[in-house]
């Protein structure tokens, strides 16, 4: 079974631009979560989607948004990029809500650098 | 903000030695997971513990969940270079669906 895939793997953007990251979950997984990982703050939860609906949201500004499609694929968007948005963005999939949602299967991440 | 503290933050030991890393919180977890992350990759799920006092073994790795479900430990026996990585604990606090990740322990095994 193929794992979680994320595209692109690396991205360099300029302050003020916007960016869209893509995630394809493991086949059969219907829940997708996004995380931001930085050396200073560690791994922080952005949001979770299930059946095209946002179920949970972390403490990030409204510049961070996401969506999920009917095939469970997900995208996240960051608008008006700031230098502090430079990070590894990780997507994780799980079977769905409930106890199984806590067992996350991660993709390799997208390394975003904002200059 | 609920904090999930891991200790030590960094650990460097010789191949063949034993080690223990800790994950502590002041709040109760519904369950707790341990992940290992290698450079350039996403975290990989190692184990889930659910019951207070539960002990799970995965080859040379032993995971224990505290009786009160507020803490956990990971013990590695006869460490090998392949154990090198960032170890993260994570869990949903009781009554909260969001997954909170620990601060991480960066482990280096020296051949």
Per-residue pLDDT of chain A (115 residues; tens, 9 = 90+): 679 999 999 999 999 999 999 999 999 999 999 999 998 888 999 999 999 999 889 999 999 999 999 999 999 999 999 999 999 999 999 987 766 667 889 999 999 999 9
pLDDT tens digits for range A71-101 = 999 999 999 999 999 999 999 999 877 666 6
Task: Name the nearest CA neighbour of A109 among A85, A92, A88, A86.
Answer: A88
User: Per the CATH hierarchy, to which homologous superfamily does domain B5-110 belong?
Assistant: Immunoglobulins (2.60.40.10)
Q: Do A104 and B33 touch (CB under 8 A)?
A: yes
Please check whether residue B28 is in contact with residue B100, taking contact to mean a CB–CB distance below 8 angstroms: no
pLDDT of residue A1: 66
Q: How many CB atoms lie within 10 A of CB B36?
A: 18
Nearest CB partner across the interface for B98, out of A43, A58, A107: A58
B21-78 pLDDT per residue, tens: 999 998 898 889 999 999 889 999 999 999 999 999 999 999 999 999 999 999 999 9
Q: Which of B40, B99, B104 sits opposite A104 (nearest CB)?
A: B99
* Residue to test with chain B: of A43, A48, A56, most B Cβ within 10 A: A43
| A104, A108, A111: best to mutate for the B interface, most B CBs within 10 A | A104
Q: What share of chain B is helix, strand, coil (3-state, %, to 5)?
A: 5, 55, 45
For residue B98, the chain A residues in CB contact (below 8 A) are 45, 48, 56, 58
């Amino acid at each position: 079974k193929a794992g979680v895939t994320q595209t692109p793997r690396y991205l360099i953007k300029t302050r003020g631009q916007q960016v869209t990251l893509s995630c394809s979950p493991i086949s059969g997984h219907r829940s997708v979560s996004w995380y931001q990982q930085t050396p200073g703050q560690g791994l922080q939860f952005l949001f979770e989607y299930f059946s095209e609906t946002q179920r949970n949201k972390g403490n990030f500004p409204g510049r961070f948004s996401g969506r999920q499609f009917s095939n469970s694929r997900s995208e996240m968007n960051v608008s008006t990029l700031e230098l502090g948005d430079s990070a590894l963005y990780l997507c994780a999939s799980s079977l769905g809500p409930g106890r199984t949602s806590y067992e996350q299967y991660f993709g390799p991440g997208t390394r975003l650098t904002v200059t | 903000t609920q904090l999930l503290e891991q200790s030590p933050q960094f650990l460097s030991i010789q191949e063949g030695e034993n080690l223990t890393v800790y994950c502590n919180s002041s709040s109760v977890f519904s369950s707790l997971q341990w992940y290992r992350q290698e450079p350039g990759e996403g975290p990989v799920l190692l184990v889930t513990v659910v019951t207070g006092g539960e002990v799970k073994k995965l080859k040379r790795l032993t995971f224990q969940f505290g009786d009160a479900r507020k803490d956990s430990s990971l013990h590695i026996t006869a460490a090998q270079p392949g154990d090198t990585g960032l170890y993260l604990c994570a869990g949903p606090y009781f009554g909260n669906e969001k997954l909170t990740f620990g601060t991480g322990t960066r482990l280096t095994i020296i051949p």
